[in-house]
Amino acid sequence: MTDIKHIAATASRDYTSFDVVIVGSGASGSIAARTLAEKGFHVALLEYGALVSPGALYAPNQATYSKARTSPHGRADGNPWTACAVGGGMQFYNAIMFRYRQADLSASQYLRTDMEIDWPISLLDLEPFYSEIESLLEISGTYGFQPYPASQRGLLISNAMRELGITPKSVPLAIRPPKTTNGCIECSSCNHLVCPTNAKANILAKSVLDDSAFPGSISVLYGCFVNSIELRSDCHAEALECYVPLSSQRIRIPVKAVIVCANAIQSAALMLRSKSRHAPTGIGNDSDLVGRGLSFKISGYSVGYVKNPAALPAHWGPHATVYTDDFYEHPGVPCRFGGLIYEANLDSPGENIGRVRLHYIAGEEPWSHNRVMLDSAIDPHGIPYIRIAYKNSENDRARISFLANRAEDTLRRLGASCIERMPFSRGKGSSHLHGTMRAGSFPKTSVVDHCGKIHGLTNIYVMDGSVMNFAGNSHPTHTIMANAKRMALSLAEKEN
Ligand SMILES: Cc1cc2nc3c(=O)[nH]c(=O)nc-3n(C[C@H](O)[C@H](O)[C@H](O)COP(=O)(O)OP(=O)(O)OC[C@H]3O[C@@H](n4cnc5c(N)ncnc54)[C@H](O)[C@@H]3O)c2cc1C
């Protein structure tokens, strides 16, 4: 059974026994650890956050950790995490698990920026790994797992969409449907919550880190912030310099190979903090690309109010059960490239009374001026603040406005009035993080190769959303996991 301990409880440990050390225990780090342990590797997962229990809420776990700056001399008001916890953002997510389409991996047919947009792999490379994740997480509507039934609001939205000639579909959810074995008991609205019953899959609920059947092993050491990677002159990582806030101590963990899975903001920041005489501008940053191309999702909400609130009671259950992808690639959308529109219930059951809310999202254009940097100021632990520079492009504003208008057509059709559009801004961060450690064949235009290895270095890999050159028009976690599994398998095959 996997060893999960606060790092302070391992003070006398010999850290040299690990074959691979992974930074970050979220969706990508955990699935990479599992893949390597399946192949006989002994893996340590270093995680800054703590263990969160079933029923825990998101806000306290997000707010505890250092924030980023969003202007040169401003307050630290940006969010450089999805969440900071063993299991990462997936502990609190909505469990919406779409596969990407080929267009997401070759988006240059629709969008042009000053960066490479296409991924160095195709959808075919991801397909076997998508299937494995679907079976591991029991994603609804795949492989004999029944589709998740539409909620009351989902049925209204579906009918309105059909009347408008739009095709509604059932959202693929990593949540066991109600009335199935260990299914959802509809105790709350699922967003921002660790599922109290484990019906919603997450890293711990699904025992993704359980190594008991594997020839290798996984040790999770949490409460440990990885501050920098120490390079030897021959382009080889020798150790990680870590900070333990509990004891205010710095420790050095030797590594044979390191995989960074800290999310697209934190992974880039770690590389930039790892400046040394062997990497004067940070690790992997010879072409000044680390941190550039930061991309989130462009998104927004529209909410409509029905005349008789009693007809639409509170909502218990998933954040979303129905969506449409009719506008994903569509001649009417600006750039012919849109995204998804889907049901998006509010966080607490009662907030939904008399209201229907729709969310629309699309992948945004990656531009080099959208980036992660290090600020000159240091935080209370002596670590440089992360700074985020970010603004939307005109194309992206046009694309999302198109989706907003279609969402509002749907709300009007189902009888809602007083429709409000909630403005979108990701200037202070997002939970969908991509693009800062771009993947490709050439060191001039990319930081890592198609298997996540940093160009020119022998044993440093990145396997999270930062290697995604285009953010994709739908939710990323399924793809982040499938891609991390693919890259970890390639590392295992190379080392064996
Ligand atoms: C409320 C919410 C709802 C969401 N809903 C969905 C959804 O429905 N569908 C979907 O696809 N996605 C959703 N997401 C996004 C999803 O959580 C992320 O896509 C996913 O978690 C990314 O996994 P990751 O491994 O790349 O990064 P993360 O999950 O962010 O994991 C990175 C981990 O690294 C740790 N870390 C970072 N820096 C360091 C360091 N220097 N040292 C040590 N540890 C470090 C962090 O603490 C964190 O635990 C949601 C996110 C949130 C917060």
At residue 254's C-alpha, the angle toward residues 248 and 259, to 5°, is 95
- Say if ligand 1 is within 6 A of residue 411 CB: no
Tokens representing residue 351 in the block: 């907030």
Q: How many CB atoms lie within 10 A of CB 95?
A: 27
How many independent structural domains does the chain possess? 1
Does residue 153 sit within a domain?
A: no
- Say if ligand 1 is within 6 A of residue 474 CB: no
Distance from Cα 495 to the centre of ligand 1, integer Å: 28
Distance from Cα 304 to the centre of ligand 1, integer Å: 30
Tokens representing residue 353 in the block: 């009374």
The yes-or-no answer on residue 478 being catalytic is: no
For the stretch 413-465, pLDDT in tens is 999 989 999 877 788 889 999 999 999 999 999 999 999 999 999 999 999 99
The pLDDT value recorded for residue 427 is 81
311 — pLDDT class (breaks 50, 70, 90) = confident
Report the DSSP beta bridge partners of residue 250.
243
For the stretch 343-394, pLDDT in tens is 999 998 999 999 999 999 999 999 999 999 999 999 988 999 999 999 999 9
- Say if ligand 1 is within 6 A of residue 479 CB: no
Lowest mean pLDDT among 41-50, 96-105, 124-133, 304-313: 304-313
For the stretch 131-178, pLDDT in tens is 999 999 999 999 889 999 999 999 999 999 999 999 999 999 999 999
Q: Backbone phi, then psi, for 268, in 5-degree steps?
A: -65, -40
The pLDDT value recorded for residue 2 is 80
Q: Supply the range of the domain harboring residue 26.
A: 3-139+174-180+193-287+436-495
User: Which one of 30, 61, 82 would you pick to mutate in the ligand 1 pocket, going by the greatest count of ligand atoms within 8 A of its CB?
Assistant: 82
Name which of 319, 318, 324, 314 is nearest 349 in CA terms.
Answer: 314
For the stretch 28-63, pLDDT in tens is 999 999 999 999 999 999 999 999 999 999 988 877
Does residue 364 sit within a domain?
A: no
- Say if ligand 1 is within 6 A of residue 83 CB: yes
Tokens representing residue 489 in the block: 């398998």
- Say if ligand 1 is within 6 A of residue 65 CB: no
User: Which one of 139, 431, 462, 478 would you pick to mutate in the ligand 1 pocket, going by the greatest count of ligand atoms within 8 A of its CB?
Assistant: 431
- Say if ligand 1 is within 6 A of residue 223 CB: no
The pLDDT value recorded for residue 20 is 98
Give the whole-number percent of the chain exceeding pLDDT 90. Answer: 88
Does residue 450 sit within a domain?
A: yes
Does residue 361 sit within a domain?
A: no
The pLDDT value recorded for residue 101 is 98
The pLDDT value recorded for residue 209 is 95
Tokens representing residue 321 in the block: 């059960």
Secondary structure class of 85 (helix, strand, coil)? strand
Closest residue CA from atom 2 of ligand 1: 93
Pick the atom of ligand 1 nearest to 29's CA: 25
Distance from Cα 81 to the centre of ligand 1, integer Å: 7
| Residues 200, 471: Cα–Cα separation, whole Å | 24
Name which of 79, 69, 82, 112 is nearest 389 in CA terms.
Answer: 69
Does residue 441 sit within a domain?
A: yes
pLDDT at 115 over 90: yes
| Residues 141, 481: Cα–Cα separation, whole Å | 18
What mean pLDDT, rounded, does the chain reach? Answer: 95
- Say if ligand 1 is within 6 A of residue 432 CB: yes
For the stretch 208-252, pLDDT in tens is 999 999 999 999 999 999 999 999 998 999 999 999 999 999 999
The residue with tokens 């629709």 is 110
- Is residue 335 a contact partner of residue 111, using CB atoms and an 8 Å limit? yes
- Say if ligand 1 is within 6 A of residue 25 CB: yes
Q: What is the CATH number of the domain that holds 214?
A: 3.50.50.60
Please count the helices (runs of H) and the strands (runs of E) in the chain.
8, 17
pLDDT at 496 over 90: no
Does residue 302 sit within a domain?
A: no
- Say if ligand 1 is within 6 A of residue 27 CB: yes
Closest residue CA from atom 39 of ligand 1: 262
Residue tagged active-site, from 319, 432, 450, 475? 432
For the stretch 182-198, pLDDT in tens is 999 999 988 899 999 99
Query: Please, what sign has the CA dihedral across residues 332, 335, 339, 343?
Result: negative
- Is residue 437 a contact partner of residue 267, using CB atoms and an 8 Å limit? yes
Distance from Cα 463 to the centre of ligand 1, integer Å: 13
The pLDDT value recorded for residue 73 is 84
Q: List the strands of the sheet with 460-462, edge to edge.
A: 3-6, 217-222, 42-47, 20-23, 258-260, 460-462
Pick the atom of ligand 1 nearest to 27's CA: 25
Does residue 15 sit within a domain?
A: yes
pLDDT at 122 over 90: yes
Does residue 374 sit within a domain?
A: no
Q: Which has more pLDDT, 124 or 17?
A: 124
